[in-house]
Amino acid sequence: MIETTHVGSLPRPAELTPLLLARDAGKPYDVDAFDQRVQDAVTAAVREQVAAGVSIVSDGELGKVGYSTYIIERLTGFGGHSERKPALDLAPLPELRRKLAAIMGEQEFTRAACIGPVTLRTLEPLHDDIRRFRTALDAEGQGARAFLNSASPGLITAFQPNSFYPSHEAYLADLVTAMRPEYEAIAAAGFELQLDCPDLAMSRHTGYQDQDETTFLRTIAANVEALNAATANIPADRMRMHICWGNYEGPHDHDVPLEAIIDIVLRARPATILFEGANPRHEHEWTVWRDAGLPDDKILAPGLIDTCSNYVEHPALIAQRLERFVAIVGADRVIASTDCGFGTFAGYGKIDPAVTWKKLRALREGADLANARAGGHGA
């Protein structure tokens, strides 16, 4: 059977979002009530994933305010508020930026900068994530595959700009040391580790937009080296990485082409690569994967449904998209996935929660159809 998964984040219950934002802002909140709300949400999310036929599940990142900014509560060296330039494709479109902000419901989560030495402060929030996820899996009687997300060193540099270190490489070096315990704790808990790496693509037109392409490629090559160093003690087949060009409904006409970054992406240690395959600016790039000369140990997890639209993709379309990648590496080296997360930040996202589960059920149906056409020889 061809496995199905998703990128990680799922819609947060409306009653949980204010608690996440209060904690992120350093405001008082009821610790016990927060823990119970998150536990209830994670348990429900695991139940819904299983019901939708997802075979590699996550905790939905429901205890985090966002996939990239949560690290400021776990690491030292971050503070203040860094203003972010609009993405290059949105910069000349102020009216669209206003519409997107209204539709997506963007919240005021902390956008810190690196202002001092980065060191590990605490792993307690991670151990809470692990405990709640394990409790939810046990409640479902699930011994199935499961993963937890973590920010890659490069992602942190893209979202928390450097205002302290003498160089990007010096910043990365301390992030390797600071983040390694989180990565290894996830693996030690028996979960697959997902490294989130939009810095390798999206940051070309967002966080690293002031760099020329040569400098950008040098930057992301250093980011991959840092990722590899931080995960050196974790088997490659216990890791997955996600690259994307941004989970928002903009023009995306400044996106870096996959062919410009593919060689650097393939240097990263994680065996499974999750990437956008349904995004209309990147769906055509399946041919880049076909022509890349993929190592035998790489597993492709293309996004076959998008997370910017409430359209529910037809299973036949999902199967057609999936079969392109099956033809490249075989059904046993393909996992059906999503383009991005369904809830990248608390209170941010346009997908109705009920539609999330419809989309994931369609993903399972499409994978089953592709598997049947392949003669049932999937993983």
Q: How many CB atoms lie within 10 A of CB 24?
A: 21
Secondary structure class of 14 (helix, strand, coil)? coil
Confidence band, pLDDT 50/70/90 cuts, at residue 142: low
Q: Which of 109-118, 340-349, 363-372 shows the lowest mean pLDDT across its residues? A: 340-349
C-alpha pair distances (Å), 310 with each of 37, 247, 353, 362: 26, 14, 10, 13
- Rounded to 10 degrees, the C-alpha dihedral 113/119/125/129 comes to 90
Assign residue 336 a region (left: φ > 0; alpha: ψ between -120 and 50; beta: otherwise).
beta
Confidence band, pLDDT 50/70/90 cuts, at residue 111: confident
| For residues 345-364, average pLDDT | 90
Q: Residue 332: pLDDT above 90?
A: yes
Domains and CATH numbers, the chain: 17-373 (3.20.20.210)
pLDDT at 244: 96
pLDDT at 377: 54
Q: Residue 370's closest CA among 324, 331, 328, 319? A: 319
pLDDT at 23: 87
pLDDT at 109: 67
- Helix-strand-coil percent breakdown of the chain, rounded to 5? 45, 10, 45
Q: Any idea which residue has 């991959």 for tokens?
A: 224
pLDDT at 346: 78
- Using one digit for the tens of pLDDT, what is the confidence trace for 289-299? 999 999 999 99
Residue count of the chain: 379
Whether residue 134 contacts residue 89, with contact meaning beta carbons closer than 8 Å, is answered with no
| For residues 16-44, average pLDDT | 91
Secondary structure class of 308 (helix, strand, coil)? coil
- Using one digit for the tens of pLDDT, what is the confidence trace for 277-320? 999 999 999 999 999 999 999 999 999 999 999 999 999 999 99
Q: How far apart are CA 335 and CA 353, in angstroms?
A: 23
* Cα within 13 Å of Cα(289), Cβ side: 26
Q: Residue 338's closest CA among 92, 39, 5? A: 5
Q: Residue 248: pLDDT above 50?
A: yes
| For residues 51-63, average pLDDT | 97
Confidence band, pLDDT 50/70/90 cuts, at residue 379: very low
Q: List, in sequence order, every residue forming a beta bridge with 4; answer none if it has no partner.
A: 336
